[in-house]
Chains A and B, each alone.
Chain A
Amino acid sequence: MTTLPSKTEKKLGLVIDLDTCVGCHACVVSCKGWNTQNYGAPLSDQEPYGADPSGTFLNRVHSYEVQPLADSAKVQPAAQLIHFPKSCLHCEDAPCVTVCPTGASYKRTEDGIVLVNESDCIGCGLCAWACPYGARELDQAEGVMKKCTLCVDRIYNDNLPEVDRVPACVRTCPAGARHFGDLGDPDSDVSRLVADRGGMDLMPEQGTKPVNKYLPPRPKDQMDRSAEATQGEGDIDVLAPFLAPVAEEPKGFLGWLDRTLEKI
């Protein structure tokens, strides 16, 4: 079994904003493109034009419906849909590393990125079994384990302009829902974002100490609460004054029009 470094100099990772992610899959495909052409074996596709197309992806977006109060007797608010991008979280206590029988899986001391050394990987799949997040995929053509590299071949790459030295998924995200940085530095932009927005660990009970964080969606459908207020069922209706009538019918409206135009 493989040991983890006792500590890493940085904790590079992603902060993913679930309030902003529209579920467009841009990150998924940009990742597929970069990593097919770059680090390690290409990400292969089986039956790409067939009955059951299935390929290797390092990042996938899942969608979940949320139905608040679904199990209570209260009136249910509208259901919500959350888009949830998921890739390796580069855990501090990464069980995928410790379970690896060959040392192929490892966590880098300088930045905490979890990688697979493909030449040492025997494709046994233990790491994928150990990962509670389902973040690793065995490439069926190459027979080696593939996973998010945080684009380790981009973020330090002298052949790229400095502004492009970020993971492909971050560079491409149209809504700006993905952020990259050092989560070990409390003053970094990503750490501040996590602090400001109540960033969360995914499944903290697993004890893996994921580096990636998720920013939760903001409360939805506050107007419905406001609307209930007008019917005396909720909070005070703060919006009511904005619709105080100037007239109930066209004739009164014209009177108001005249009076108001005089003042302009």
Chain B
Amino acid sequence: MTHHQPRIDTSPKVSDEIRKTTCYMCACRCGINVHMREGKVAYIEGNRDHPVNQGVLCAKGSAGIMQHNAPSRLRAPLKRVGPRGSGEFEEISWDEALKIATDWLAPLREKDPSKLAFFTGRDQSQSFTSFFAQNFGTPNYAAHGGFCSVNMAAAGIYTMGGAFWEFGQPDWDHTKLFMLFGVAEDHDSNPIKMGLGKIKARGARVIGVNPIRSGYNAIADDWVGITPGTDGLFILSLIHELLRAGKIDLDYLARFTNAPVLINGAEGPEKGLFLRDEDGKPLVIDRKTGKPAAFDQMGVRPDLGASYEKDGVTHITVMQMLAERYMDPQYSPEAVAETCGITAAKIRTIAAEIARVAFDEAFELDHEWTDFRGETHKTMTGRPVSFHAMRGISAHSNGFQTCRSLHLLQILLGTVEVPGGFRFKPPYPKPVRAHPAPHCGVTPGKPLDGPHLGYVQGPDDLCLKEDGSPARIDKAYTWENPMSAHGLMHMVISNAHAGDPYKIDTLFMYMANMSWNSSMNVGGVQKMLTDKDESGDYVIPRIIYSDAYSSEMVAYADLILPDTTYLERHDCISLLDRPICEADAAADAIRWPVVEPDRDVRGFQSALCDLGARLGLPGFVNEDGTQKYADYADYITNHQRKPGIGPLAGWRGEDGESHGRGAPNSDQIDRYIENGGFFVNHIPEGANYYKPWNAAYQDWAVGMGLYDSPQPYLFELYVETMQKFRLAADGHGERQPPEHLRDRIRRTLDPMPVWYAPFEDDVVDTEEFPVHALTQRPMAMYHSWGSQNAWLRQIHGHNPLYVPTKIWQANGFAEGDWAEVTSAHGKITVPVAHMAALNENTVWTWNAIGKRKGAWALDKDAPEATKGFLLNHLIHELLPPKGDGLRWANSDPVTGQAAWFDLRVKITRADPPPAESQPSQPPIKSPVGQGPDELRWEVGK
């Protein structure tokens, strides 16, 4: 046949209209263009104008159309009619559902508000949900940070007033060496990919530190396949080498950190505390005068090496204490190499390369700026070494100190908030003292005495009752984990079931799959949720749950409030919460209903506006008792946290021309929609680096409403708050820890970063359980709710256990084999696959691919249910009993973060292999039926 070329239309109409909103396929919050045809969603692409993703979009975002139309969407409020866990429900009206909830909750508020535990999972409206909980009056509120990454948040904020995660970013435009530890592929995911692309194009070097060489680590120029849980030790060894070589930024340390602050060296109640002046300001020795001076005094030049005698007490600087500790041979590369699984030569090479780039490739940006001491600098010094870390170093029982170690390394190099280094995104930097302390004061019928979550600054801020027992159901802010800034959602069900510290009546949760992948000890948690007491009542009497989809948790609730999909709802991604800012700009965003729901569902926040009014909560009713906010959009527009400060920063004031501060504007949401769904306000040049100390930035932040007054501060290489807890452990002060925790507090709440082996190593036989087991989140599927997505489950429908060569060969594994994987807590039997680019003592799998039969509108034979599995069965929320009768949480002792990655296992070949992954649970009844057999998805043709 000769060449025959048909005429085709190369300019077809693309869509009727583009509606711009914010993605919610994970926590990255990219801007999306939703192409509409005949009123339906036809195609989703990235919004080029958006500060987060600048037009690009990941696999999850592009598959949003399948999420929005998923057959697993709940359709109407549900009332449980079968036993808990069966999945038997009847559909009820919203009026009935809200009446039931009101009838349950109103008496609790009247008698004892703490009988309500309200915990939200992957909530992006925490400033609103906490407002509800605070008005209700219960101390029992948190989102999911405690089982996610509070170590990272708390270590960052206590050390440097800002954190990794999506709250900061490498200076992608200037960095020449980027070192990435651990990954959580659902926060800042497109910006990190864009940044990697940028620095790769420039030929800059990427070092990946991760036991698993996949994803970002696969493209890293150099890979450090570290042993899990030893990152802190590796980092302290780098610090050891840099100190010995004098490759630290003395000028930066003297000016911007508490390295020159004087520490009391005398035994007694003041030991390890700062020497302060009468105003309480930490003192340094001024090199010009040789005399003590307040750290922030105009013109002071702090001396890093000073010592000072006062009243017979010797005070030395933090810098001297750092040198004393980290120059010790216990941190030499040779000493740590075996534990970390990295050769001493490699540690030294990495330290040398860091030193070379930080100091030999330093550069100046021609930006004049004035610091908080009034000194003007002609240029900004850049040190082009940047670090980023995520969940990998955080989800360990030594995670807080490991995160602190990494921040110490960054700060010693002078690479935080400088060109080429790590940069904060507004509202950070923000010193600890500018955060609230936690509140737990309960009065029946009244709101709580302040915000639930915050940053303690000593034992006085702990959430303890008068008898010293925990005030919160999750035991946050107690001696077990004093600095638990995000609460401990993973302990709520376990503690409520045990009645420890007390019993509750109603457990109210939102978007948290606590009967499945969001809990440790899945089978145990399911039993706790369904357990009955002697009188035949459920031990946890009532459970209300809100979700958009038929998740595993739905079956375990008594009342379901069905949420909308992300394209059907209002949301604000707020500066009061977790905004979408960039290092150069403050930014926030909205979601708005680009389509209306075709089911009897409501945005959860709108439902709370109604419920709050029915309960008569002060923040939710007008003076005449009528409902204050018709829905969430009304709240977003009209709520004021402080006069002039509301959920959204853009287009405030009656004329809509004020930004940051201003009266509510009834057209505000429309202005956001006109602008593509977001608002951005750029930080002026000269104010955009050195932000914690930069007077121009501080003034800009006050104008934007981020602070009420300038808040310059020093980076805390030494965290005095931690020393206060240690002093208490030594017997000083009124509030005293229980005896069994004194030693642990002394050891783990060290005010300077320290490394100790993960707790599981202390309580299990590491010879018997020699293998580390981890999970990773796939880039192409959001853990928890991806398996219902028809397109994404074709990419990630299976999750074998990946096994390194050494273990593969030792067990004689072959393709298609299964393995029994046993921990101190439980056993699973699962399919295995070989992976060579993996730490030789580590196995891993994709997180949360495994699904319960009957959930997510999947067929009962779906591979997610038959071959998929969770490691969660192997992990307990408590450490194995130590014989002392006490319940020791499997959590970080500083923050209470769930220590998911401490897990140790042994592995053997399963012969014969089982028919399905074990443990296999019976199906739950689907309240939404099953999805269709075929999709030919095309709209408007």
- A binding-site residues for B, Cβ under 8 Å: 1-5, 17, 19-26, 28-30, 32-34, 36-38, 41-42, 44-55, 57, 63, 65, 67, 78-83, 100, 102-103, 106-109, 115, 117, 120, 141-142, 152-153, 155-160, 163-164, 168, 171-177, 217-218, 220-224, 226-228, 230-231, 237, 239-240, 242-250, 253-254, 256-258, 260-261, 264
Contact A243 to B247, CB < 8 A, known contacts A49-B71, A226-B349, A261-B304: yes
Q: Are B5's CB and A106's CB within 8 A? A: yes
- Judged by a CB distance under 8 angstroms, whether B65 is at the interface is yes
Q: Hey, which chain A residues are within 8 Å of B857, CB to CB?
A: 49
- B787: shortest Cβ distance to chain A, in Å? 9
A-B contact pairs, 22 of them (CB 8 A): A23-B214, A25-B780, A25-B795, A26-B56, A26-B62, A32-B62, A44-B935, A48-B932, A49-B862, A49-B932, A50-B862, A55-B794, A117-B6, A141-B934, A171-B45, A171-B56, A174-B189, A220-B220, A221-B222, A227-B345, A243-B355, A253-B246
Q: Are B4 and A168 within 8 A (Cβ)?
A: no
Task: Please name 17 further chain A to chain B contacts, defined as beta carbons within 8 Å, in addition to the given A48-B790, A257-B323, sorted by A numbering.
Answer: A19-B200, A37-B939, A48-B932, A49-B862, A51-B859, A80-B837, A106-B3, A106-B4, A109-B5, A120-B6, A223-B222, A227-B343, A243-B244, A243-B351, A245-B244, A256-B246, A261-B303
Contacts of A261 in B (CB 8 A): 250, 254, 287, 303-305
Known contacts A29-B63, A153-B10: A246-B245 contact under CB 8 Å: yes
A22 touches B935 (CB 8 A): no
Q: Which residues of A contact B305 (CB under 8 A)?
A: 254, 257-258, 261
Chain B residues within 8 Å of A176, by CB: 194, 197-198, 201
Pick the contact of B200: A20, A33, A34, A65 (CB < 8 A).
Answer: A20
Please provide the 10 A-B residue pairs with the shortest distance between their CB atoms, ordered closest to farther.
A49-B931, A174-B193, A48-B790, A246-B246, A239-B352, A79-B836, A176-B197, A51-B861, A175-B197, A227-B345
Across the interface, A42 reaches (CB within 8 A) one of B327, B861, B937, namely B937
Check if A20 sits within 8 Å of B197, measured CB to CB: yes
Task: Give the contact stretch, choosing among B11-19, B268-276, B759-767, B902-910.
Answer: B11-19
Is B243 an interface position by the 8 A CB rule? yes
B858 contacts chain A at the CB level, 8 A cutoff:
yes
Whole-angstrom CA separation of A29 from B56 in the bound complex:
12
Shortest Cβ gap from A167 to chain B (Å): 12
**Which of these, A78, A108, A158, A163, contacts B225 with CB under 8 Å?**
A78
The CA-CA distance from A156 to B6 in the complex, in Å, is 16
The distance in angstroms between the C-alpha atoms of A5 and B244, with both chains bound, is: 69
Check B863 for interface membership: any CB of A closer than 8 A: yes
Known: A29-B780, A171-B55. A36 touches B201 (CB 8 A): no
Of listed B3, B356, B939, residue having the most chain A CB within 10 A: B3
CA distance A81 to B4 in the complex (A): 43
Interface 1/0 per residue, B75-96 and A, CB below 8 Å: 0000000000000000000000
Residues on A with C-beta less than 8 A from B835 are 65
Given the interface contacts A44-B934, A175-B196, A245-B244, does A49 sit within 8 Å of B12 by beta carbon?
no
Question: What string of 1s and 0s marks CB contacts (under 8 Å) between B156-195 and chain A?
Answer: 0000000000000000000000000000000001100110
Contact of A22 among B13, B216, B320, B838 (CB under 8 A): B216
A157 near B222: Cβ-Cβ < 8 Å: no
Nearest chain A CB to B375 CB, angstrom units: 13
Q: A20-B200, A222-B221 are in contact. Are A26 and B59 (CB under 8 A)?
A: yes
Q: Decide if B746 is an interface residue (CB 8 Å cutoff).
A: no
Chain A residue at minimal CB-CB distance from B217: A81
Q: How far is the CA of A108 from the CA of B7 in the complex (A)?
A: 10
Chain A residues whose CB sits within 8 angstroms of the CB of B933 once the complex forms: 46-48, 50
CB of A222 within 8 A of CB of B58, answer no
Q: Mark B875-889, 1 if CB is under 8 A from A, else 0.
A: 000000000000000
CA distance A54 to B937 in the complex (A): 14
Q: Which residues on B are within 8 Å of A, measured CB to CB?
A: 1-6, 8-14, 35, 37, 42-46, 48, 53, 55-63, 65, 71, 189-190, 193-194, 196-198, 200-201, 207, 213-216, 218-223, 225, 241, 243-247, 250-251, 254, 287, 303-305, 319-320, 323-324, 327, 343, 345-346, 348-353, 355-356, 359-360, 779-780, 788, 790-795, 797, 835-838, 857-859, 861-863, 866, 930-939
Q: Does B935 contact A48, Cβ atoms closer than 8 Å? A: yes
A240 to B795, CA, bound (A): 45
Give the residues in chain B near A109, CB-CB below 8 Å.
3, 5
Query: Max chain A CB contacts within 10 Å: which of B8, B61, B198, B862?
Result: B8
Inter-chain CA distance A57–B792, complex, in Å, is 12
Q: Which B residues lie within 8 Å of A17 (CB)? A: 200
Q: Which residues of A contact B213 (CB under 8 A)?
A: 78-81
* A55 cross-chain contacts in B, Cβ below 8 A: 790-791, 794, 935
> How many Å lie between the Cα of A217 and that of B218 in the bound state?
10
B247: chain A residues within 8 A (beta carbon)? 242-243
State in angstroms the CA–CA spacing of A11 and B443 once bound together. 75
Q: A20-B197, A50-B859, A239-B349 are in contact. Are A153 and B244 (CB under 8 A)?
A: no
| The residue from B11, B46, B193 contacting A158, defined by CB atoms under 8 A apart | B11
CB-CB under 8 A from A25, the residues of chain B are 58-59, 779-780, 795
Contact indicator A30/B57 (Cβ below 8 Å): yes
Name the distance in Å between A85's Cβ and chain B's nearest Cβ: 12
CB–CB A230/B345 < 8 A: yes
Contact of B779 with A247 in the complex, beta carbons under 8 Å: no
> In the bound complex, how far is the Cα of B14 from the Cα of A242, in angstroms?
57
* Cβ-defined partner of A172 (8 Å) among B12, B46, B345, B359: B46
Bound Cα distance from A2 to B5, whole angstroms: 11
B246-A260 in contact (CB<8A): yes
Complex Cα gap A163–B46 (Å): 13
Q: Bound state CA distance, A131 and B836, in angstroms?
A: 31
Across-interface contacts of A52 in B (CB, < 8 A): 863
